Structure 1
Amino acid sequence: MTRPPAGRPCWPGADLDPTAPPGTEPAAPQRVRGVLEADVTVVGAGLAGLSTAYHLAERDPSLDVLVIDAEGPAAGASGRGTGLLGPRVGPPVDQAVRRFGPDTARRMHLASTEAVERVRELCARLGVPTGPRDGEQIVATRTADGLAALARQAAAYRRLGLDVTVLSAAGIRDRLDVPYHAGLLYRAAGLDPAALSGALAGACAAKGVRFLGNSPLLTLRPGETAADTHLVFPGGTVRTRKAVLAVNAAAGPLGLPVGTVLPLLVHAVATAPLPAEARELLGGRTGCALIDAHPLAPYFRLTPDGRLVLGGGRPVLPPVSDDSGSAAVWAGLEERLRRLHPVLADTEVTHRWAGRIGMTSDGLPVVGPLTDRPDVWYVGGCCGHGLALSVAHGAHVAEALTGGTPERLPWHRSRAPRLPLPAPARPLLRAGLGLMERSARRAA
């Protein structure tokens, strides 16, 4: 079987230019040239940056908001996810209780479920489909260690008074014909992440937000006054009163004082549209997605047109000299896909792609102003859960920058823990990721 070309997600939204007027050909975005000015400049046109710009324009239409991206809207990780919209932030709930206390752990879970609802509401407003209203997501296991871990999480949810359903193997089989032993059931949805990014960009443009692209941020420096920041790009400089740096794992190369947000390349594959019988067996009736509880083990969902999207496997730590690492991960995903169910044995894989996420050592995002720079905010490090969290973060930052007093997020902070990652340590990190993947393969 011929392997599909790498790089293109299966999402129809990935082919759109959301800022182009209807009926016109996509045009290359204008770059930063000379010296420009703005009230608020958002660097990064992913979901976090676009959500920030959208909510800024909603809250104060008089603001001159400028969005600048190294490429263009939806070009990065926000247009390359697997479209799983479910509640999750930080470590599993039992670990969160031990590390942060029961009150904070409860607030973290509730904030993540609220983030899912925010995305649903936004998608309804922008006309982006999210699947059935009663969509579900199962975090499941087929190992003894996994059963023990899910039992601890279920007990923690009960103690915190949180309603999370425990599923037996039969309960999982009622939804998905896969041999898992037990799981936890969450309200969730699935969507085209590129379409959401594109719809947000289009809505921002309709509200007067300006866009510039093909302009990677080089550095930032203080302006002539305390309320003035200069953002430096290859073609010019932007003088801005306030800035939001939604640059995720690019924080490290930029030298931002936000701790370590590690760039990891994660992978996915998608099949051709499945026959009706296969769709029924793999969640087509219930709109149910499944995430294996073991780290790096595969997870999957169906798309509205009947494709099965499967992600997981060993993340790749950039930079890489070639695509051999990604090729090995894709091959492993295709192998797991065919073992998932007999109906998939001969299914054609039509898409393979990867996207870069930002990871922190404690699993929590960074959302807050830079140290000693209250008018410059950083947003990033969602650790693979950015579809729900990024939209919520954008609304939170927009409220803070327009004089509101948003309820403090449980993970509101200006920096993540710092990891010393000199060049000699990177092979050790890569080896650790490889060990985790081999463990996940044994569990499967």
Structure 2
Amino acid sequence: MTRPPAGRPCWAPPDPDPTAPPGTEPAPPPRVRGVLDADVTVVGAGLAGLSTAYHLAEGDPSLDILVVDAEGPAAGASGRGTGLLGPRIGPPVDRALARFGPDTARRMHQASVDAVEQVVALCARLGVTASVRTGEQVVATRTADGLAALARQAAAYRELGLDVPVLSAAQIRDRLDVPYHAGLRYRAAALDPSALTVALARACAAKGVRFLGNSRLLALRPGRTAAETQLAFPGGTVRTRKAVLAVNAAAGELGLPVGTVLPLLVHAVATEPLPTAARAAFGGRGDCALIDAHALAPYFRLTADGRLVLGGGRPLLAPVVDDAGAAAVWAWLEERLRRLHPALAGVEVTHRWAGQIGMTADGLPVVGPLTGHPDVWYVGGCCGHGLAMSVAHGAHVARALTDGAPATLPWHRSRAPRLPLPRPARPLLGAALGLMGRGARKAAA
């Protein structure tokens, strides 16, 4: 296929203008209209999709690459994350060691460490450095069960020869004035995921990548030849040689054969900039984030401008039909925030939001070609740990599409385990999430 005519303008997200008056927002990307052609079409303008397009354009500038999103860049989970950039993928390291053996477990952890470093380097390359803070991420506990779990993980790290130190309660208090019993320390970072996503979109546009938005994928259809796939949208069709579906938990509604990727809504709150005493209690410089070792229990970090961001609590199975559940989760998060430290008693919560993640039954993502469609790849299911890994997955898929399949890891697969989820079973799943949420509340008490 031929590229668009030289000089053809490519839409790109403009720089944000905080002084712009309401009603003067920049024009959204154009929609899919009629029949269009592309060498590679990426569906999804989040971090995974944009990373794929970016690395494809870098690896082969001759490709005609089209990115299509249901809304626009950073409109989904990649624009709603809490900015925790840490080395985590799949199950805890002790379970990974037992399931996959030492060599694979070590490679899994190292891949997530490398992904963090790659995102920090990408931010520097794209000029997104104002909100990036390198530092530490502490996974800590205040329960007996949590201590036992962290002890198993620490033993596994030692067996694998990986440098993940154990912190005592006193060492945690040296970093953050919060009462946790012990923790594991990881080298990590924090950043504004929306700023990175938009900067990545602009970098793609500068390389000639085309953007279309407000176009939700409806279906995949056979092309005119075996080398073509047709992607159907409300306003038209894209004929493409290769496609990457970076649609995360939308896989279910599209009927993609990738196993079960559950769509869950997770919640977060953020405060006004903290006063001096409160800011000092949470590290002052903001270079240490804390994640409770119990699933769904609160996690928090300090932002570059001194706000405290706190997430966690019971996830809700999407789609959510009323706002009562979300209001309850936000209320619980605010109550937990007040109990973190006395200096937070009078601090105002200024932001509340939710974002959709994709969960799999075994905790591993899915990054691979669709069964029966070797030129159509799916990326998703990072289970809430996608900030670093989504960028890494995009680079992996770009290499696979241009140079052949690179070395693989357990999540480089075409499908996750399937969970039977007929409509009558959804209340049971909701009840299971509620039980997990009650466990998180107990751990956080």
TM-score under structure 1 length normalisation: 0.94
Where does 1:56-95 land on structure 2 (aligned, <5 Å)?
56-95=56-95
Q: Which residue of 2 aligns with 1:46?
A: 46
- Shift of residue 134, structure 1, vs aligned partner: 4.8
- Shift of residue 131, structure 1, vs aligned partner: 5.9
* Residues in 1 aligned to 2:137 and 2:276: alpha-carbon distance in whole angstroms: 21
Whether 2:430 is the aligned partner of 1:436: answer: no
Q: Which residue of 2 aligns with 1:290?
A: 290
- Shift of residue 99, structure 1, vs aligned partner: 1.6
> What 5-or-longer segments of structure 1 have no aligned partner?
1-16
Judged with a 3 Å threshold, the aligned counterparts in structure 2 of structure 1 residues 21 and 133 are, in CA distance, closer, same or farther, namely closer
Q: Which residue of 1 aligns with 2:5?
A: none
* Residues in 2 aligned to 1:397 and 1:321: alpha-carbon distance in whole angstroms: 35
Q: Which residue of 2 aligns with 1:192?
A: 192
Whether 2:262 is the aligned partner of 1:262: answer: yes
Q: Which residue of 2 aligns with 1:103?
A: 103
- Shift of residue 361, structure 1, vs aligned partner: 0.2
Where does 1:234-313 land on structure 2 (aligned, <5 Å)?
234-285=234-285, 287-313=287-313
- Shift of residue 405, structure 1, vs aligned partner: 4.5
Q: Which residue of 2 aligns with 1:409?
A: 409
- Answer whether contact 1:51 1:200 (CA < 8 A) is retained: yes
Q: Partner amino acid for 2:211? A: F
- Shift of residue 129, structure 1, vs aligned partner: 2.2
- Answer whether contact 1:283 1:301 (CA < 8 A) is retained: no
**Other structure's SS at 1:442 match:** helix
* Residues in 1 aligned to 2:137 and 2:332: alpha-carbon distance in whole angstroms: 23
**Other structure's SS at 2:13 match:** coil
* Residues in 1 aligned to 2:119 and 2:320: alpha-carbon distance in whole angstroms: 34
Q: Partner amino acid for 2:66? A: L
- Shift of residue 403, structure 1, vs aligned partner: 2.0
Identity of counterpart residues, as a percentage?
Answer: 82
Whether 2:316 is the aligned partner of 1:316: answer: yes
Judged with a 3 Å threshold, the aligned counterparts in structure 2 of structure 1 residues 120 and 96 are, in CA distance, closer, same or farther, namely same
- Shift of residue 343, structure 1, vs aligned partner: 0.5
* Residues in 2 aligned to 1:114 and 1:358: alpha-carbon distance in whole angstroms: 22
* Residues in 2 aligned to 1:130 and 1:154: alpha-carbon distance in whole angstroms: 34
Judged with a 3 Å threshold, the aligned counterparts in structure 2 of structure 1 residues 237 and 269 are, in CA distance, closer, same or farther, namely same
- Answer whether contact 1:142 1:180 (CA < 8 A) is retained: yes
- Shift of residue 279, structure 1, vs aligned partner: 1.2
For residues 285-310 of structure 1, give each alpha carbon's deviation from its aligned partner in whole angstroms, at most 9, with x where no partner exists.
Answer: 36100000001100000110000000
Q: Which residue of 2 aligns with 1:418?
A: 418
- Answer whether contact 1:131 1:189 (CA < 8 A) is retained: no
- Shift of residue 163, structure 1, vs aligned partner: 0.7
Whether 2:120 is the aligned partner of 1:128: answer: no
Where does 1:82-231 land on structure 2 (aligned, <5 Å)?
82-129=82-129, 134-231=134-231
Judged with a 3 Å threshold, the aligned counterparts in structure 2 of structure 1 residues 215 and 408 are, in CA distance, closer, same or farther, namely same
Judged with a 3 Å threshold, the aligned counterparts in structure 2 of structure 1 residues 22 and 172 are, in CA distance, closer, same or farther, namely closer
* Residues in 2 aligned to 1:243 and 1:134: alpha-carbon distance in whole angstroms: 34
* Residues in 2 aligned to 1:294 and 1:238: alpha-carbon distance in whole angstroms: 45
Q: Which residue of 2 aligns with 1:27?
A: 27
**Other structure's SS at 1:412 match:** coil
- Shift of residue 29, structure 1, vs aligned partner: 1.6
Q: Partner amino acid for 2:379? A: V
**Other structure's SS at 2:403 match:** coil
For residues 37-87 of structure 1, give each alpha carbon's deviation from its aligned partner in whole angstroms, at most 9, with x where no partner exists.
Answer: 000000000000000001111111111000000000000010000000000
Judged with a 3 Å threshold, the aligned counterparts in structure 2 of structure 1 residues 231 and 143 are, in CA distance, closer, same or farther, namely same
Q: Partner amino acid for 2:40? A: V
* Residues in 1 aligned to 2:85 and 2:416: alpha-carbon distance in whole angstroms: 24
- Answer whether contact 2:96 2:105 (CA < 8 A) is retained: yes
For residues 189-234 of structure 1, give each alpha carbon's deviation from its aligned partner in whole angstroms, at most 9, with x where no partner exists.
Answer: 0100100000000101111100000000000011021110000000
* Residues in 1 aligned to 2:204 and 2:180: alpha-carbon distance in whole angstroms: 43
For residues 7-38 of structure 1, give each alpha carbon's deviation from its aligned partner in whole angstroms, at most 9, with x where no partner exists.
Answer: xxxxxxxxxx9523798951022000000000
> What 5-or-longer segments of structure 2 have no aligned partner?
1-10, 18-23
Judged with a 3 Å threshold, the aligned counterparts in structure 2 of structure 1 residues 225 and 267 are, in CA distance, closer, same or farther, namely same
**Other structure's SS at 1:135 match:** strand
* Residues in 2 aligned to 1:133 and 1:319: alpha-carbon distance in whole angstroms: 34
- Shift of residue 128, structure 1, vs aligned partner: 1.2
Q: Which residue of 2 aligns with 1:372?
A: 372
- Shift of residue 284, structure 1, vs aligned partner: 2.2
**Other structure's SS at 2:397 match:** helix
Query: Alignment RMSD, CA only?
Result: 1.5
- Shift of residue 130, structure 1, vs aligned partner: 7.0
Q: Which residue of 1 aligns with 2:6?
A: none
- Answer whether contact 1:106 1:160 (CA < 8 A) is retained: yes
Q: Which residue of 1 aligns with 2:381?
A: 381
Q: Which residue of 2 aligns with 1:6?
A: none
* Residues in 1 aligned to 2:409 and 2:229: alpha-carbon distance in whole angstroms: 26
Q: Partner amino acid for 1:275? A: P
- Shift of residue 407, structure 1, vs aligned partner: 2.3
* Residues in 2 aligned to 1:18 and 1:169: alpha-carbon distance in whole angstroms: 48
**Other structure's SS at 2:314 match:** strand
Q: Which residue of 2 aligns with 1:398?
A: 398
**Other structure's SS at 2:312 match:** strand
* Residues in 1 aligned to 2:16 and 2:388: alpha-carbon distance in whole angstroms: 28
Moved more, 120-129 or 384-393: 120-129
TM-score under structure 2 length normalisation: 0.94
- Shift of residue 132, structure 1, vs aligned partner: 7.0
* Residues in 2 aligned to 1:377 and 1:28: alpha-carbon distance in whole angstroms: 26
